[in-house]
Chains A and B, each alone.
Chain A
């Protein structure tokens, strides 16, 4: 029951033999030489990486290395930043997200986002979840869709008797799960999470982490986090970014999470994850 949204086909389909594509074309997202500038400031430099489908990929790195900038490229949130310019390619299901004719609003339905601080609308729990579907002109059974999204977000049992109450009356952890439900309601393929637990207490954090794991396999999830233990707990793959002076952020190492946290291949990754950075 996917919402009827289509991404315009860009002109930059990767060739069959493109070495950057995962075997069987399983990359959900792929960046090729992606660089981002804010005016004259280079925020990200030459990032080439594959994001596998239906897996959780964590992006870690020190402050200012461009993690959030990279995340925001994946659903073109950087379009909203004045002076931001993007070079290189970013492919979603093999199609260039930045090709002319691609509608960034449509992209944001297919590639949802959850932010650092829970940001429910000042509306009821129900209306928060139904919001995207309504905008999208959804004509099916709204109650079912809302319940399904809340169930997926592991929030249904806690809110089923107060769907008409304001979303802002929920606890911080519940609000964040509500925001995840809101993102899930439009049935995206990818969910971007920008430090989704940084404003939550440890128990609410673990609940969100459990939720992320339960969604893996169905959705492609990319999570930016400063909490390395969290990256180790929830992700299948981890990418480490760092930044040099005046150079912008760049990718140092991207591998499966187990490898990154037990035996990283680059000494900069080792220094960062063991807390000896700097």
Chain B
């Protein structure tokens, strides 16, 4: 006899909502960096506006989790799913804020061109997005190996951040007039570095969901 099929269905719906929110965040990160590269202020404006949708989604998911905890008394795996979803949702919401932050930097720059053609920043964005995508796939597949890989990939993003930081520092040393524009790009790369860290946090939550163990995958440099 299959019992608690109602709870199973609600947990599945909850995970689907989290995945949908993950998709919104991925898209927001990609659009923010793309708009920055193309100096498309209208698109940057749109990313800022649409962050409200991500924030609202987070509250919807949290409310669902709270309702299920209050009414279903979840235990063991059910409980771990709910706790993991709550944490993952908060991580996603913060990632959305970083994407919004990038869009706001783009708006701050106004009509001004970027200090240099963006090469490493889009690469960083792509890697961070990839980590998020993989972490969410690992969640769906309950795959701790993939989740662990996400954590390892954070080192690549950190290395790119170091590289961008060095490069921008050189610009600033050579010509202090570039400091303002270089700082904008440094902020962008910092936001991307944080997005990757948050993807790592999601991967750690996936490992908790599957194994019940709460462990940090390895201390980040940042």
Contacts and interface: CB of A to CB of B under 8 A. Distances in A.
A270 B74 CA distance: 11
Interface stretch (A15-23, A90-98, A158-166, A257-265): A257-265
B76 A270 contact: yes
Contact of B212 (A228, A262, A276, A277): A262
A273 interface: yes
B1 A274 contact: no
A262 B1 contact: no
B3 A262 contact: no
B73 A229 contact: yes
B2 interface: yes
B144 to A, nearest CB: 14
Contacts of B3: 275-278
Nearest to B72: A275
B4 A228 contact: no
B75 A274 contact: yes
A262 B79 contact: yes
A263 B214 CA distance: 11
B55 interface: no
Interface in A4-40: none
Q: Which residue, A228, A232, A274, has most C-beta atoms of chain B within 10 A?
A: A274
Contacts of A232: 75
Nearest to B79: A262
A265 to B, nearest CB: 9
A278 B1 contact: yes
Interface bracket on B: 10 to 19
Contacts of B73: 228-229
A205 to B, nearest CB: 15
Interface in A231-278: 232, 261-264, 269-270, 273-278
A274 B2 contact: no
A261 B77 CA distance: 9
Nearest to A269: B76
A262 B7 CA distance: 17
B79 A276 contact: no
A273 B4 contact: no
A263 B2 contact: no
Given A262-B80, A262-B212, A263-B212, A276 B2 contact: yes
A275 B8 CA distance: 11
Q: Which residue, B74, B77, B78, has most C-beta atoms of chain A within 10 A?
A: B77
B37 to A, nearest CB: 45
Contacts of B80: 262-263
Contacts of A278: 1, 3
Given A261-B76, A262-B79, A263-B76, A275 B4 contact: yes
A41 to B, nearest CB: 25
Contacts of A270: 76-77
A182 to B, nearest CB: 33
B75 A261 contact: yes
B212 A274 contact: no
Contact of B77 (A229, A274, A277): A274
B215 to A, nearest CB: 13
Nearest to B83: A262
Interface string B1-21: 111100100000000000000
A228 B72 CA distance: 12
Contacts of B79: 261-262
A263 B211 CA distance: 8
Given A263-B211, A275-B3, 20 more contacts: A228-B75, A232-B75, A261-B76, A261-B79, A262-B80, A262-B212, A263-B80, A263-B212, A269-B76, A270-B77, A273-B75, A273-B76, A274-B4, A274-B77, A274-B78, A275-B4, A275-B75, A276-B4, A278-B1, A278-B3
5 contacts: A261-B79, A269-B76, A270-B77, A274-B75, A277-B3
